[in-house]
Amino acid sequence: MADLKGGLIGCGFFAINQLHGWADAKGASIVAICDRDPERLRTVGEQFGISRRYTDARAMLEAGGLDFVDIATTVESHRALVELTTGYKLPTICQKPFAPTLADAKAMVAAAHKAGVPLMVHENFRWQSPIRAVKAILDSGEIGTPFFGRVSFRSGYDVYAGQPYLAKVERFIVDDLGVHVLDVARYLFGDVASLNARTTRINPAIAGEDTVTILLDHDNGITSIVDASYSSKRPVEQFPETVIEVDGSEGSVRLEQGYRLVMKGRSGVVEKDISPPVLPWASKPWHNVQESVAAIQQHWVDSLTAGSTPATSGDDNLKTFALVEATYAAAASRQLVVPSSLL
């Protein structure tokens, strides 16, 4: 079967990873790119040898020849672009944060349904191989029935250097990073009945909050803690690793800093290094994220080819989005919030 032909909108900082991932993907390639910044368009087009270049997304879609679109712009453009691409009946991937508000996100999901095309949110953290290794252990029953979990991302890395817009947003860490960590909690422990949360801003030079601590009650009785910080100065910088702890009725599993897996399960004690590969185009410390980009994009191709729903479909991501909204609501009110009541 011929490769699926994709068009990518937004050729900024993170799109470079996506374009490398597409170059590695089996069954798809990017044949057209769009960015409203002509200089960016030219540089990226030359780097990846893509000659179909547009400064206007509609012009790219009008020119035709596409099987799907990958939207890699920042959040404020997402709704208009998803409504545009689905209007052209094109299967669409949209970067996170999915939308500025839950109402926008719902409208985008509705637009894809109306057009009858798949919509996937580029929610890549659950595609990191160390996180998938923890999920496989939980699914295997090695540690029995989980009753406690913690998913944590704490760093002092200067994210503002590569993504200057992050210093200016009023809603920062929950929207930008918490969304990933909350999605991992959903992936590992299931949907959430209620949560409570606290946020703070430690770094005085930014507009939004840069720490968050969330206590979650999952539908299946698991209690988990999700915490994230961009103001944690550590002896060994942890960026961009997510560490995980799970206790179950028969054992426990830890994904520790440095990708060390430590498990006590039904079959004994296991300690091993499960570092993700550094792909040929990747560089440390981003390599775990870069590997997950290639993995989620391959998942998209496989899902489109098979006609199956991608794991982080728009519908699925509304539940993660509701956790983000519930976190802000709980932090503001200091009260328990039921995320499903927001949907």
Q: Where do contacts with ligand NAD occur on this chain (CB under 6 A)?
A: 9-15, 34-37, 40, 57, 72-75, 77, 81, 95-97, 122, 124, 163, 176, 289
C-alpha 17/C-alpha 164 separation (Å) is 18
- Sort residue 57 into left (φ over 0), alpha (ψ -120 to 50) or beta: alpha
Please, which residues have CB within 8 angstroms of residue 331's CB and are 6 or more apart in sequence?
174, 197, 198, 199, 209, 212
3-state secondary structure of 164: helix
Shortest distance, position 272 Cβ to ligand NAD, whole Å: 25
Shortest distance, position 162 Cβ to ligand NAD, whole Å: 7
Q: Is the Cβ–Cβ distance between 241 and 153 less than 8 Å?
A: yes
Shortest distance, position 143 Cβ to ligand NAD, whole Å: 28
The single-letter DSSP state of residue 249 is T
- Of all residues in the shown chain, the one whose CB is closest to ligand NAD is 12
Shortest distance, position 54 Cβ to ligand NAD, whole Å: 8
Shortest distance, position 30 Cβ to ligand NAD, whole Å: 15
CA 5 to chain centre: 23
Q: Is the Cβ–Cβ distance between 138 and 149 less than 8 Å?
A: no
> What are all long-range contacts of 97-105, with beta carbons under 8 Å and residues at least 24 apart?
97/175, 97/176, 97/179, 97/324, 98/314, 98/317, 98/321, 99/75, 99/321, 100/75, 100/76, 102/318, 102/321, 102/322, 102/325, 102/342, 102/343, 104/78, 104/79, 105/314, 105/317, 105/318, 105/321
Shortest distance, position 13 Cβ to ligand NAD, whole Å: 4
Query: Smaller CB distance to ligand NAD: residue 101 or 140?
Result: 101
Query: Smaller CB distance to ligand NAD: residue 128 or 196?
Result: 128
3-state secondary structure of 284: coil
Shortest distance, position 187 Cβ to ligand NAD, whole Å: 15
Query: Smaller CB distance to ligand NAD: residue 10 or 146?
Result: 10
Query: Smaller CB distance to ligand NAD: residue 96 or 264?
Result: 96
3-state secondary structure of 17: helix
Query: Smaller CB distance to ligand NAD: residue 93 or 134?
Result: 93
Query: Smaller CB distance to ligand NAD: residue 95 or 155?
Result: 95
3-state secondary structure of 240: coil
Query: Smaller CB distance to ligand NAD: residue 42 or 266?
Result: 42
Query: Smaller CB distance to ligand NAD: residue 142 or 316?
Result: 316
C-alpha 267/C-alpha 251 separation (Å) is 10
Query: Smaller CB distance to ligand NAD: residue 84 or 197?
Result: 84
Q: Is the Cβ–Cβ distance between 199 and 209 less than 8 Å?
A: yes
Shortest distance, position 21 Cβ to ligand NAD, whole Å: 11
- How open is the CA angle 140-141-146, to the nearest 5 degrees? 125
SS3 breakdown of the chain: % helix, strand, coil, rounded to 5? 40, 25, 35
Q: Which residue type is seen at 33?
A: I
Shortest distance, position 217 Cβ to ligand NAD, whole Å: 27
